[in-house]
Amino acid sequence: MIVSSFFRGDDDSVASVADRLLGSPELYSHKLREVEQSVNFVTCHDGFTLNDLVSYDHKHNEANDEENRDGSEDNRSWNCGVEGPSDDPAVEMLRNRQVKNFLTVTMLSLGVPMILMGDEVRRTQHGNNNAYCQDNDASWFDWSLLARHADVHRFLKLLIERRLQRDLYPEGHPVRLNQLLSAANNAWHGVRLEQPDWSSSSHSLAFGAEHRKEKLLFHAILNAYWEPARI
């Protein structure tokens, strides 16, 4: 929910996103938990799929025959200007970018990443956030999406490889991201170097980690995208 709030441009979300990037110490450090005990996810089997999170402002559960009263009302979603499917290339480009933003934060945060099946190819439930009762294309996996959204699928595969650092270390001795960042010199930034902005109106965040022993420098920049809906 925190990450969804940040990427749709909500106020008071920057500090919480920073906490989630580090494995949620705000929630778990008092229990002396290691970051690997934190499970990071944006979507799961309950609620919107990742595609629907960036395609619908409201749930559309009419097919469940409960007059759209079932399912969560708090989805922290943003339709990128058009409710539901769109042929507008600009809207589709923005949705693709947002999907990749969510996948990137999930895969590069400390802790265990969890990806909802189908999010890697933008599977949709047509705005239904409670589709357990639907034995049709709302809950099935559409294999044609592998070709239609091959770029997103490839993007996630590259993120997984980056997380495991397979391209930097011998296959038998990988150094994982959790290990790297936990031993690195870390620094937070805002729109200016070494000046993080934790205010409620801030929508930008940067994080740097230097691991001198491994001669590695990791830098991530997050900036929320927001504009008024066009409908």
Q: How far is CA 206 from CA 29, 56, 80, 218, in A?
A: 22, 28, 24, 11
pLDDT band (50, 70, 90) for residue 231: very low
Per DSSP, 195 falls in state: B
- Cα–Cα distance between 231 and 228 in angstroms, integer? 9
- What does pTM read for this prediction? 0.84
- Distance, CA of 171 to chain centre: 27
The pLDDT, as a whole number, for residue 166 is 47
Residue of higher predicted confidence among 228 and 80? 80
The pLDDT, as a whole number, for residue 76 is 93
Whether 170 shows a pLDDT value over 50: the answer reads no
Whether 209 shows a pLDDT value over 80: the answer reads no
Give me the mean pLDDT over the 5-34 stretch. 81
The pLDDT, as a whole number, for residue 95 is 97
**Token pair for 96:** 């693709």
- Cα–Cα distance between 8 and 115 in angstroms, integer? 20
pLDDT band (50, 70, 90) for residue 171: very low
Q: Which of 36-40, 62-66, 102-106, 154-158 has the lowest mean pLDDT?
A: 36-40
Give me the mean pLDDT over the 25-43 stretch. 77
pLDDT band (50, 70, 90) for residue 63: very high
Give me the mean pLDDT over the 158-163 stretch. 88
Residue pLDDT, tens place only, 66-123: 999 999 999 999 999 999 999 999 999 999 999 999 999 999 888 889 999 999 999 9
Residue-level length of the chain: 231
Is 165 within 8 Å of 211 (Cβ atoms)? Answer: no
pLDDT band (50, 70, 90) for residue 125: very high
- Cα–Cα distance between 114 and 222 in angstroms, integer? 20
Give me the mean pLDDT over the 182-207 stretch. 85
The pLDDT, as a whole number, for residue 177 is 56
